[in-house]
Amino acid sequence: MKTLYFDHAATTPVSEQVLAEMLPYFEHQYGNASAMYALGRQSKRAIEQARKRVANAINAKQSEIYFTSCGSESDNLAIKGIAYANRNRGNHIITSKIEHHAVLNTCKTLEKQGLEVTYLNVDENGFIDINQLINSIRSTTILISIMFANNEIGTIEPIQKIGKIARANNIIFHTDAVQAIGNVRIDVNKLNIDSLSMSGHKFYAPKGIGALYVREGVKFEKIQDGGHQEKDKRAGTENVAEIVGLGKAIEDVYANYERYNEHLQNLRDFYIAQIEQKIPTAKLNGDRRSRLPGNANFSFSNINAQKLLLELDEKGICASAGSACSTGNPEPSHVLVAIGLDRNLSEGTLRTTFGKDNTKQDVEFLVDSLVNIIQKNTIYIGVKRRIDKCVLLCRLSGCIR
């Protein structure tokens, strides 16, 4: 049975080109980048080439890029590092209620350490309340951290507007851009972004490698002690092969940006149109226009998402009920709660995220499978309700006890 993968927001496969560029650094060019001999210097040059590629992709300086292990570490390093280094300026942070847990839980940790955090509301499409943002700013506000695009519902926030507000108030602006890299063109200067997190495995690089951009002049402290790697901001021997892979992947995804994202958007729009035509009770979550090109998040009534995922899996289809980091959590998604979705719909939510290898035929099979599962479930519920009604009537008439 063929596997059809529609969960690219969770992770992507490593591309052939990226893997080919990584392989020498596992076998032949294996030197420690901190070593002085030629083998070490080769690794150091490879890291700096990757740093340059990342910087070019977001119009940053090479010296403003720091390599980490993942997006979550990048978020932690940015938010904690900036908070610790700027305590003399204030102790207040502003974020939103729909951030990834790498941001939310980092902020909760800082609250335990005496910092104050404001969590902004969002509307039914997932946009932050700009007026609430402005009104939340204090003289002690040192950081605003708002995600570029939501990992569950795909809504792209008004980043340029947020950055302008932060810059006008002399507040550092960080954005978790893990879902946006490769799917949105990003210029950190035009958008007034002071710090940005990314994760390689979201754009065809391997898992276990991320990067953090911090604008020159923004103070931040390291949160991991050890050696003096990454300009003394992130201790630990560099993962040379994966750093090379991230650099190659980000260069490739932006070199093919128009074609890649047009492909994703065509699949997404076809899928949305087909679902709304064939399952008219389905509800699309997130903004219809300002959303990631490959993201479609639907809620279906009277069906549990876990049941839906299991039945799709039996057909060889991989999708998601939401963030991969929250799998197994019985509570409704904090994102769906924040946009005001009722519990019945929240429990029947399916996130579908497309990638470069998906085809229209794949999407047609996905739609047909969903229609079949939903119809079967609707018939089952209808029969069960009729049986329950008959049992109730029999009990009321004394036929059964």
- Go through 287-307 and write b for each residue having 16 or more CB atoms within 10 A of its CB, e for each that does not: beeebbbbbbbbbbbebebee
Whether 390 has a pLDDT exceeding 80, the answer reads no
- Out of 70, 107, 318, 325, the active site residue is 325
Read off the pLDDT of each residue in 179-201 and give the average, rounded to a whole number.
Answer: 98
Q: What is the pLDDT of residues 316-339, one digit of tens each?
A: 999 998 654 545 556 789 999 999
pTM of the complete model beyond 0.85: yes
Using 50, 70 and 90 to split pLDDT, how confident is the model at 391?
A: very low
Using 50, 70 and 90 to split pLDDT, how confident is the model at 398?
A: low
Read off the pLDDT of each residue in 207-217 and give the average, rounded to a whole number.
Answer: 98
pLDDT at residue number 397: 53
pLDDT at residue number 377: 80
Pick left, alpha or beta for residue 138 (phi over 0 → left; psi -120 to 50 → alpha; otherwise beta): beta
Whether 259 has a pLDDT exceeding 80, the answer reads yes
Residue 243 near residue 22 (C-beta atoms within 8 A): no
Read off the pLDDT of each residue in 212-218 and give the average, rounded to a whole number.
Answer: 98
Q: What is the pLDDT of residues 42-96, one digit of tens each?
A: 999 999 999 999 999 999 999 999 999 999 999 999 999 999 999 999 999 999 9
Q: What is the pLDDT of residues 131-175, one digit of tens each?
A: 999 999 999 999 999 999 999 999 999 999 999 999 999 999 999
Alpha-carbon gap, residue 127 to 195, rounded angstroms: 20
Read off the pLDDT of each residue in 271-296 and give the average, rounded to a whole number.
Answer: 97
Amino acid at 306: Q
Examine the residue annotation and report whether 399 is marked as an active-site residue of this protein: no
pLDDT at residue number 383: 36
| Contacting residues for 95 by C-beta, under 8 A, at least 6 apart | 103, 104, 107, 117, 118, 119, 120, 144, 145, 146
Whether 220 has a pLDDT exceeding 80, the answer reads yes
Q: What is the mean pLDDT of the chain?
A: 93
pLDDT at residue number 396: 43
Whether 265 has a pLDDT exceeding 70, the answer reads yes
pLDDT at residue number 332: 83
Pick left, alpha or beta for residue 3 (phi over 0 → left; psi -120 to 50 → alpha; otherwise beta): beta
Alpha-carbon gap, residue 380 to 303, rounded angstroms: 11
Of 352, 373, 374, nearest in space to 363 by CA: 352
pLDDT at residue number 280: 94
Alpha-carbon gap, residue 326 to 166, rounded angstroms: 30
Whether 340 has a pLDDT exceeding 60, the answer reads yes
Whether 381 has a pLDDT exceeding 50, the answer reads no
Q: Distances from the Cα of 27 to the Cαs of 14, 15, 24, 40, 50, in angstroms?
A: 18, 19, 5, 14, 19
Residue 7 near residue 354 (C-beta atoms within 8 A): no
Higher pLDDT, residue 280 or 381: 280
Q: Distances from the Cα of 301 to the Cαs of 67, 280, 281, 348, 376, in angstroms?
A: 43, 11, 7, 6, 13
